[in-house]
Structure 1
């Protein structure tokens, strides 16, 4: 990276090289187009907040996209940042005073005819910038014959501590019974030190974190283990801290499907409210959770490190489980109204968990026996189609599940009132609505009959 100052002669030579060097990339930005179609070029950079003078710089991606355009590029006017922040660009950009021109980056990726690349821009508070000062970053995307498109982003200076979480990864091949080392790492991107912090983590159902004496533990409504730790120490600007031995987490028998372990860091002074609806208690533990400094202080925060939240994604833990359909058998005469209770039971040990996607589990379909009419149904069930539709397709009812998780040992049922119109019909049935997160280990009991006789 380098600062934005070159002579006019160097700019002209650089622009000539830019045109020659990017012509091939620009022309390959998409499929062949008509000669009178100039294509298009777009650019995007979000609003940015940086620490006060003395804080590490922040790397922010300026994204450039193009289809069919010749020599796609972005030109930046830095006039609106004077006295507030400085901006540093990569060497492939050409600068002249407060104007910077960047071609489509050499690392751009062509996907389905659209070229996308990112220009990493490092913003840093200018010397003497005050808390709350703002500047304007103006950028224009264009090609050789495209209409220029100009946008602005606001850059704000905030003095004070600014804790960021450094964990953002994924692991695969995890199996029940494994001990999973979960990283914990933070950096202070502000211009003032943090004295003590709060670390809040959430481990989805099935994952069992190690115990620390300076942490409290509880369970939320999705059966996730919530951990809140008070970590003492001074966290200087730019200094990375991590849990050196990582956090040992047992992959228990209830673990099933994909999971995301989340973590959130904040200065203890002024920390937000504790997680709602979770009763937190201490556990017996010999060790305390300590975050130790690692490496030299960062001069620049890398791109992608943007917030106080982070996490580790676990890909498709196989687990084992058996969801069993619960049918019914009742007796009655023609004209009677009888009640049938149908549903599902999770025999475990795995727990279907859709909290990562925000969905529900444990839903089922109910087909009443032929010769009966539903005259009463619970509010959690409704017709999966039109009861009066013509044809031989049986009437089917959909019943929602118990929520984001389907705990082992839970039976989820719904009661229907059926009027018996005849006793010569075929049995009905109940079955899972979907096999989530996969077909279970005993698919032979996924469908059960419902009879009236």
Structure 2
């Protein structure tokens, strides 16, 4: 029982019958529900586990089965204590005696040999707060290929109706590994390449049919079409999840210990904007009856032309076959990040708007697929004699004690190849300093993908000597040059808000929100290039800055998934 459950149970006992009635009326539904129909509870977890005779079956400290209870209702997502939907003793029995002579089982809760009993008192809507524990399975000394067994999980409790779970366990079944991929030489964005794909059954039993899955992120596609394949494209919504998928089915048997190759090579096409996009492929056994339904669905497009087939290869080295086969490509493309400053004028006491521009001039997009969309950072320092009176929500103070007038801003990834972002500031002129300028800069980095480092710095110029203004809030955008007198380039179509760029149906990451930023100091940015050097981290106190940014973003966006 959790500490939260103990506190609630003690509270109910103290309240007595009147208190219980009041709490039930207020939304603690367990008492009221128990008086009516039983509350349905589904025991969930993996319903099948295949144990390999050729591997350690994953991390030996990690269970293959995660047991939970699924209770009707909407999961709690607010702050504070989670309200239960049922209060009352219940037990869940895990019977793994069917694995005797088949496999070893490490069971949760109170275990006696191959049988364990878990007890509880409180149940919550959904599955998140109803975890029973994990089951770890390993080979036994007498495990042999073809051995099978079952784990049966049942439950009981007053006012509850449990749906049991049966887990089928098999030893040494078909185990398909994929031929390791080789990086194509001199592959450029816009080119196509033909990887050598193959499969080897290293298991102890034949596979009665197989499924091939080809997967390419946003910058990759598969132009060929085959009669036994179907494809689907996801080209809207979250850029991290946009992809093309191809599924091919092969009904023929794959013998244990044998290797196979495709009858013809499959082409992978890269887009002109592709950069470190992910290509992967995998084979798995075909489930009984799956071939009839696998290619169905509104988004799936059935292929045409001849079938793609598998041909048996000669002697194969199992060391050349892996569980996960994938490549990041192409690696020769570049992008061009550009910062745009501003030139403004005003009198002491005035507040003037300043728009900082951030854009990608392409040709490559910035997927940051491996990092899950970590943001780019840049710093904004006000000119001498001025302070920022208003800043975008994507920016946060650089200092931890208020002594640093600068700000750190985040531009989110993935970022489209033509993304345009605007960060609106308001600058208060405390004292007129002619020609004062503030620096806007990306980190001083060695980024092989940024093709032009000269526009990584821009300036906010305040009251330039040749500015003709009347001391008001007017002025034009400054150019991305080290020379504060250089003519400005403007925002070139960027909107006035910080969310211009790729938001909407074309993706969620074009705005300056950085919804997928994660972690603390390790702002690795797109494609694994460090965004902030150690000296910058120390100078700007980024530990507190990142935490502040994450809290602000979490409060704005909730629990955004990656």
Partners of 1:336 and 1:206 lie apart in 2 by 48
Normalising by structure 2, we get a TM-score of 0.46
Given that 1:361 and 1:436 are in contact with CA atoms closer than 8 Å, whether structure 2 keeps it comes out as: no
Partners of 2:267 and 2:196 lie apart in 1 by 9
Secondary structure of 2:408's counterpart equals: strand
Partner of 1:253: 272
Select 2:54's aligned residue among 53, 58, 69: 58
Indicate yes or no: 2:312 matched with 1:294: yes
Partner of 2:426: 417
Select 2:176's aligned residue among 164, 183, 192: 164
Given that 1:205 and 1:351 are in contact with CA atoms closer than 8 Å, whether structure 2 keeps it comes out as: no
Select 1:185's aligned residue among 198, 203, 225: 198
Deviates most, 328-337 or 346-355: 328-337
Report the CA distance between 1:297 and its aligned residue: 9.2
Report the CA distance between 1:351 and its aligned residue: 1.7
Normalising by structure 1, we get a TM-score of 0.56
Q: For 1:277-327, what per-residue CA distance to the aligned partner results, in whole angstroms no more than 9, with x for missing partners?
A: x994538x65466240323698xx9468564x432344x712133222122
Partner of 1:367: 381
Going by fraction, where is strand more abundant, 1 or 2?
1
Number of residue equivalences = 311
| Residues 319-398 of structure 1: pairs in structure 2 closer than 5 A | 319-386=333-400, 388-389=402-403, 395-398=405-408
Report the CA distance between 1:416 and its aligned residue: 1.7
Select 2:412's aligned residue among 402, 407, 411: 402
Partner of 1:441: 451
Partner of 2:187: 175
Secondary structure of 2:411's counterpart equals: coil
Q: Cα 1:328–1:165, aligned 2, differ >3 Å: closer, same or farther?
A: farther
Given that 1:184 and 1:246 are in contact with CA atoms closer than 8 Å, whether structure 2 keeps it comes out as: yes
Partners of 1:127 and 1:217 lie apart in 2 by 37
| Residues 27-426 of structure 1: pairs in structure 2 closer than 5 A | 50=51, 58=54, 84=102, 125-126=143-144, 129-131=147-149, 158=170, 162=174, 164-171=176-183, 173-176=185-188, 177-188=190-201, 189=203, 191=205, 193-195=207-209, 197=211, 199-213=212-226, 214-218=229-233, 219=235, 221-222=239-240, 224-238=242-256, 239-256=258-275, 258-267=276-285, 269=287, 280=299, 282=301, 287=305, 290-295=308-313, 302=318, 307=323, 309-314=324-329, 317-386=331-400, 388-389=402-403, 395-403=405-413, 405-424=414-433, 426=436
Q: Cα 1:129–1:353, aligned 2, differ >3 Å: closer, same or farther?
A: closer
Report the CA distance between 1:252 and its aligned residue: 3.3
Gaps in structure 2 of 5+ consecutive residues:
1-48, 59-98, 104-138, 152-167, 464-562
Partners of 1:269 and 1:61 lie apart in 2 by 21
Partners of 2:173 and 2:208 lie apart in 1 by 6
Secondary structure of 1:400's counterpart equals: strand
**Higher RCO, 1 or 2 (CA under 8 Å, sep at least 6)?**
1
Report the CA distance between 1:350 and its aligned residue: 1.3
Secondary structure of 1:395's counterpart equals: coil
Given that 1:50 and 1:124 are in contact with CA atoms closer than 8 Å, whether structure 2 keeps it comes out as: no
Q: Cα 1:306–1:253, aligned 2, differ >3 Å: closer, same or farther?
A: closer
Secondary structure of 1:444's counterpart equals: helix
Q: Cα 1:254–1:127, aligned 2, differ >3 Å: closer, same or farther?
A: closer
Report the CA distance between 1:441 and its aligned residue: 2.4
Secondary structure of 1:263's counterpart equals: strand
Q: For 1:348-367, what per-residue CA distance to the aligned partner results, in whole angstroms no more than 9, with x for missing partners?
A: 11123321233524432222
Partners of 1:124 and 1:438 lie apart in 2 by 54
Partners of 1:244 and 1:436 lie apart in 2 by 44
Gaps in structure 1 of 5+ consecutive residues:
1-47, 52-56, 63-80, 86-120, 134-155
Given that 2:208 and 2:285 are in contact with CA atoms closer than 8 Å, whether structure 1 keeps it comes out as: yes
Q: Cα 1:414–1:247, aligned 2, differ >3 Å: closer, same or farther?
A: same
Partners of 1:420 and 1:289 lie apart in 2 by 72
Report the CA distance between 1:231 and its aligned residue: 1.8
Partners of 1:303 and 1:61 lie apart in 2 by 17
Deviates most, 438-447 or 183-192: 183-192
CA RMSD of aligned residues (A): 4.3
